[in-house]
Amino acid sequence: MTKNTYKRRLRGRVAVFVALAAVAIALDQVTKALALARLGNGVSVALPGPLHGLRLVRNPGASLGLGSGSTWVISLIALAACLLIIVLALRTTSMVWTLALSLAFSGAAGNLIDRVAYASGFLDGAVVDFLDYGWSVGNVADIYLTLAGVVVVVLIACNVQFSGRSQTTEHGGAAK
């Protein structure tokens, strides 16, 4: 692969990553805004099926409320995860890996936005959760994180290459 072809493909993957992340984060934030507007004051909405209903919960912790006393630490970990995902997205040559990484970024960033937007101190804001599963309450960003995790496991199980770049393309020298 020539250097120009590699750069063109990289720009395409970056565009897909950014576009998917923008749409996904916007959807997450809109659903959270709707939940805040419609589910305040203890309002709960029952739904048929596996989703028990809609119920507003502000979660200062991580999954299942774990670490609720260390919200700022969770926020810093989420920030580090977002940065790492961006680095990985720039290194992959696979579009399917780009999509999985974009979903993971969207989930982590969506919940990080809550921790910043609703903070009264240093990164101590709570995540807006509203999808009541009976055993936990989550949000759209959590769905993205779960989907990304499943996709990554499938990609690894199916041995889908993360990067197909040869050492010739990567370093400008002959492959060993």
Provide the H-helix boundaries in the chain: 3-38, 71-91, 95-117, 140-157, 167-171
Active site residue 129: yes
Catalytic residue of the set 28, 114, 132, 142: 142
CA 163/CA 171 separation, integer angstroms = 14
Residue 5 CA to residue 166 CA, distance in Å, equals 14
| Residue of 28, 114, 129, 132 marked catalytic | 129
CA distance 129 to 35: 8
Query: Which three-class secondary structure state does DSSP give residue 133?
Result: coil
Residues designated catalytic: 129, 142
